[in-house]
Structure formats: C-alpha cells, structure tokens
Amino acid sequence: MPMKRLTMLLVQLARGIRLEESWSACGFSSAAEASRALEGLARSLDSTPAGTAHRVGEGSRRAQDGPRGLGAAILHVDGASRGNPGPSSIGMILRLPSGEELYSVGKKIGRATNNVAEYRAVIEGMKLARELGVRALTVRLDSELVMKQLTGAYRTKNAELASLALEVAELCRHFSRCSFEHVMREENCEADRLANEALNRVIDP
C-alpha cells in the first residue's frame, strides 16, 4: 500500500477527523482497509528506538518521552520571497530515511522577507511532522543564516526572527531528536520548486 495514503490518513486523524469520515478521501476502499493499515503501521513501530534531544537555542529542553509515530524522517524546506519583503511562499517535503516521500506541499504565506519565509517553512514542516508522530526529525534547508541561527552558531538579533526561532525551539521539544542541516540549493531543488510554484499560482487550490 502506498505510504502516501497512510500519511494522509494520519494527518486527518491528527486533526481530529474520525476514521469513518476520512478513509475515503485518503484513497482507501473501506474503513476496514484503513484500520488494517493503521494496525500494520503500529506493529512496525514497536521496535523503533527513540533517540536523544537536540538543543536549539535557549528555549529548548530535553524531550522526556519521545512520541510514538513514524520513527525517523527527513524534512526538506525552502522559502521564497519576491521583493524581500514581498509576496512569499514556502515549500516542504517530508521523507522517510529510505527516500520514500510521505508528504509534500507548497503554499503562499502572504508578505514576508526571505528569512521569515525560510523560518515559516521550517515551522510548518515541523508541525506536520509532529502531527504524523515523527520521533526523530532531521530538517534540511539551504539558508545557511537560518540554519546557523537555529543551531546557535549565529545570534538572532532581529526581533521577528528571534520570535520565530523560539517557536522552532518549542517545536523541538515534541521530538526525541531534532537536528538541522545546511544543504546546497541543488540538493534542495524540490522544496524550492514547490515554493516557487505556489508563488506563481494565481489562486491556491
């Protein structure tokens, strides 16, 4: 069964939508099939070990009990802004370590700067991973500035960015391990494409 259908179902359930109301929209043939898929996922997670927390800024703390969920996942994010500040968007792709795509989305976020868009992409992607029950998260982005601010290598002097960094730190507490990695733009091209496609859309779907 394609993982994407199961991921969509998990998102719906995390948002409080009952299985009886969500199975069809997620591509399952029946509620029973969806239920069996969830049971299979639960069995596969029983042997997944939890990791250790990653400190991000002064506002994060060690996660005491890692949530049950999808184990490890990799999140690619990117933000786009035309005008800096100007119309902006975000793109994000959540994958298993094997490379299998779990979820991807690009959407507009209104008027923002490049750096704010990058932070918003990180935040929205982490919220999605939290909803899906990811325990160990690796966030990859091509903004060296944002990555170094999140890992404490750079001080965050801008008040708006500092507030967003604290929000990221708070989200980190929901994972047993959370780390941030800088990648070259060519390694982040799919998230960049999603962000720019969203920015080019006249009307969002």
What was the pLDDT predicted at 205? Answer: 53
Hey, where are the domains in the chain? 3-45, 71-200
pTM confidence score: 0.71
- C-alpha–C-alpha distance, residues 169 and 10, integer Å: 24
Yes or no: say if 136 and 63 are a contact pair by the CB < 8 Å rule. no
- 35-64 tens-digit pLDDT: 777 777 666 554 444 333 333 433 333 333
Mean pLDDT, rounded, for 73-93: 96
Give the span between the Cα atoms of 118 and 136, in whole angstroms: 21
Q: Which CATH architecture has domain 71-200?
A: 2-Layer Sandwich (3.30)
Q: Is the CB of residue 160 less than 8 Å from the CB of residue 151?
A: no
How confident is the model over 96-137, as pLDDT tens digits?
998 989 899 999 999 999 999 999 999 999 999 998 889 999
Q: Give the whole-angstrom CA distance, residue 135 versus residue 127.
A: 12
